[in-house]
């Protein structure tokens, strides 16, 4: 179908609105909605902020002023995701739209949720509303990549992240020099921290290995920005992390992953046999703990394990202006990488440090 410039403009606005829920909406999808008059003027906007709150369609309708209510029967609604047609924590949005009976509904893409898939659009067509789908579909599928990946694979979306110097080292210290309690090494400058914390805030969990926890004693929060901190996943198959480790003070926000025969600390323990592989770990994190996405922050062995198993979707890296000629080597980037097609910024500078953003080639084919 050929979309008009106004269709594309209003759907792009709906996508921008949906992004407002990026740090709070999980496990629900990101959804934005724009309502326009017959003349094409915007009379209502809304987005879904967090589970249990009003959906984007409800918020958009609520934003229509009393003086513009008479325009609703001839209005067009632009929604990034197919309106729900089932009763969850909130009433179905398809019923709301049906009660308004706008002239036209434009949907970016269908919902893969079996409770929704095709039902919302079908119901509204039967009500006599013109329903058109596929406007900027690929962009919305990318925006909701975690949601769609979960539905298809029943495991978290995986993002690998690390910082390295220009010579390809994570740390000037060797593994033997990185002793417990030594503390982390500041590879990038302070300007990079806010961007890193923004990356963290977009994922539901941050994972590190036990050695990184013991040596670096990281905080793993998003203190540089105003956003909720993600859950922490401590990968500790040998059970070497002591219960006194500072990260366990935030027990209600932490998943301690231990091997068989070891006791987990904190409120949430996950037993994982490392010989069962990373697929088994990801299945457990999603099925038992509802982890939709995870940022793997280290150390080198954990990052390399995910790369070797080819169990990653995105890679985000920092390259420092610093140069070392020995120490802890950074993982090797895969030979085949793509830049995210629907992002305007996939590389940049912060202070003297450069960041890059890559995706797995399979992601572009979904």
Number of separate domains in the chain = 2
Low-confidence ranges of the chain (pLDDT < 70): 86-90, 113-118, 365-366
Cα separation, 248 vs 228, in Å, equals 18
pLDDT at 169: 94
57 noted as active-site residue: yes
pLDDT at 115: 59
**Nearest Cα to Cα of residue 98 among 127, 61, 131:** 127
Query: pLDDT at position 117, please?
Result: 59
Specify whether 239 is located in the same domain as 265: yes
HEC sequence for 123-135: HHHHCCCEEEECC
Same structural domain, 117 and 168: no
- What pLDDT shows up at residue 84? 87
**Does 204 share its domain with 309?**
yes
Domain of residue 325: give its range: 147-365
**Cβ neighbourhood burial of 133 (10 Å; 0-12, 13-18, 19+):** middle
Could you read off the pLDDT of 196-234 as tens digits, one per residue? Answer: 999 999 999 999 999 999 999 899 999 999 999 999 999
User: For position 181, what pLDDT does the model report?
Assistant: 78
Q: In the structure encoding, which two tokens stand for residue 325, read together?
A: 């000629």
Last residue of some domain: 125, 143, 161? 143
Asked if 107 and 56 sit in the same domain, the reply is yes
CA distance 128 to 75: 14
In this structure, are 305 and 192 located in the same domain?
yes
Buried b (16+ CB within 10 A) or exposed e, 322-350: bebeebbbbbeeeeeeeebeeeeeeeeeb
Residues 6 or more apart whose CB falls under 8 angstroms from that of 69 comprise: none
Return d(Cα 37, Cα 43) in angstroms, integer: 6
Statement to judge: residues 82 and 179 lie in one domain: no
> What's the CATH code of the domain at 120?
3.40.140.10
Whether 77 and 191 map to the same domain: the answer is: no
Could you say which of 19, 45, 49, 57 is catalytic?
A: 57
| Residue where a domain stops, chosen among 97, 121, 143 | 143
Indicate whether 227 and 336 sit together in one domain.
Answer: yes
With 0-12 / 13-18 / 19 or more C-beta atoms within 10 angstroms meaning exposed / middle / buried, residue 212 is buried
Q: What is the pLDDT of residue 114?
A: 65
Q: Where are the alpha helices (DSSP H) in the chain?
A: 5-18, 56-62, 93-100, 119-126, 137-143, 145-153, 191-201, 210-216, 277-289, 300-308
> How far, in Å, CA of 72 to CA of 60, rounded?
12
Co-location of 170 and 51 in the same domain: no
Say whether both 316 and 346 belong to one domain.
yes
Domain finish residue from 116, 143, 170: 143
pLDDT at 89: 66
């Amino acid at each position: 179908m050929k979309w008009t410039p106004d269709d594309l403009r209003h759907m792009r606005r709906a996508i921008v609105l949906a992004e407002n829920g990026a740090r709070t909406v999980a496990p629900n999808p990101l959804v934005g909605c724009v309502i326009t008059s017959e003349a094409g003027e915007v009379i209502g906007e809304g987005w879904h902020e967090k589970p249990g709150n009003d959906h984007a369609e409800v918020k958009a309708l609520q934003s229509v002023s009393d003086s513009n209510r008479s325009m609703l029967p001839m209005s067009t609604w632009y929604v990034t995701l197919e309106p729900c047609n089932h009763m969850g924590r909130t009433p179905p949005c398809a019923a709301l739209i049906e009660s308004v009976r706008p002239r036209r509904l434009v949907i970016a893409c269908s919902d893969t949720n079996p409770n929704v898939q095709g039902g919302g659009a079908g119901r509204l067509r039967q009500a006599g509303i013109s329903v058109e789908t596929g406007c900027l579909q690929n962009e919305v599928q990318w925006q909701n990549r975690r949601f769609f990946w979960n539905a298809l694979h029943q495991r978290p979306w995986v993002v690998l992240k690390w910082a390295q110097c220009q010579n390809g080292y994570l740390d000037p210290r060797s593994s033997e020099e990185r002793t417990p309690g030594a503390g982390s090494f500041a590879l990038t400058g302070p300007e990079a921290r806010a961007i890193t914390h923004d990356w963290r805030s977009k994922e539901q969990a941050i994972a590190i290995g036990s050695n990184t926890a013991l040596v670096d004693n990281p905080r793993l929060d998003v203190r540089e920005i105003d956003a909720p901190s993600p859950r922490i996943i401590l990968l500790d198959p040998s059970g070497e992390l002591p219960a006194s480790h500072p990260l366990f003070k935030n027990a209600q926000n932490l998943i301690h992953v231990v091997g068989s025969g070891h006791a987990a600390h904190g409120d949430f323990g996950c037993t994982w046999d490392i010989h069962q592989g990373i697929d088994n770990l990801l299945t457990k994190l999603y099925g038992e703990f509802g982890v939709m996405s995870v940022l793997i922050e280290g150390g080198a062995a954990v990052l390399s394990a995910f790369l070797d198993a080819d169990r990653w979707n995105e890679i985000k890296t920092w390259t420092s202006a610093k140069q070392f000629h020995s120490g802890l080597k950074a993982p090797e980037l895969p030979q085949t990488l793509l830049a995210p097609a629907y992002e305007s910024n996939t590389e940049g500078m912060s202070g003297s440090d450069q960041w890059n953003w890559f995706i797995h080639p399979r992601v572009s084919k979904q």
